[in-house]
Amino acid sequence: MNWEKIRDWLIEHKQYVIIGVIFIFIVFWNKYENHAPTVDDQLGIKPTHVQKNTSTKQKQQKNEGDKPQLVAKNSDITCDISGAIKHQGVYTLKNGARLQELITAAGGIVSNAQLKNVNRALILKDQDKIHIPYKGEKIKISEIIISANSSQGEAASTSATAVAATNSNQSATGKVNINTANEQDLQKLTGIGEKKAAQILAYRQKNGLFKRIEDLKQVSGIGDKTFAALKNQLEI
């Protein structure tokens, strides 16, 4: 190979050689730029997916904002129940729950509950206070259903017809009705303490209502002497 001729040719055509070298450099540089990994790729960042997830989240937030009433509709309510039920306390129910659901959650009613005028289909509101009366229990209508909102006071008073006040344990003469009296009322009788009051209730539950006041002597622990001391305080 004649290197001198090659050298002379390069010198003679050096401008073309320079242009060719620059062209080759540009071609390889562009190829490298197109295929070289970016900093995001090296760090494992995927901006396309992030934008997609962000967009999805924004859509979800927008949808939630468009349906405030639906969220409120599905919220829970918390109510307090006491009185003639097995487990008094505070219970959380679904919005729109009725009184019967609250009674069921509280274990049901006791044997001497007064349900004659109870509207167990009543729709409850959050923070309602419910009292299920005992048979013969003295209670004001306004104390049956107490609403947390003062603006609902009239509604609470009106809805009290759902759980109406029951007959009094004591008549106008002050006598105790032994067929409707609860344990506290029985203990007001002469010679009747907590134990004997419980025995009277147990007898009444097992045998039914007393047909005459003298039948009270059938209860264990109540003899002629005890009965004589309290018979004028009794009625049926």
Question: For residue range 61-113, what is the model confidence (pLDDT) as tens digits?
Answer: 666 555 555 444 568 999 999 988 899 999 999 999 999 999 999 999 999 98
How many Cα atoms are found within 13 Å in the side-chain-facing hemisphere of 59? 6
Q: How confident is the model at residue 158 (pLDDT cuts 50, 70, 90)?
A: very low
Q: 29 vs 8, 21, 26, 33, 40, CA distance in Å?
A: 30, 12, 5, 6, 21
Three-class DSSP category at 98: strand
Structure tokens at 37: 């990994």
Upper half-sphere CA count for residue 70 (Cβ side, 13 Å): 5
Walk me through the domains of the chain, giving residue ranges and CATH numbers. 3-69 (no CATH), 75-162 (3.10.20), 176-235 (1.10.150.320)
Query: How deeply is 199 buried, as exposed, middle or buried, from its count of CB atoms within 10 A (0-12, 13-18, 19+)?
Result: middle
| Encoded tokens for 51 | 């934008």
Of 120, 117, 130, 129, residue with least CA distance to 165: 117
pLDDT at 160 over 50: no
Residue type present at position 146 = I
User: Is this model's pTM higher than 0.75 or not?
Assistant: no
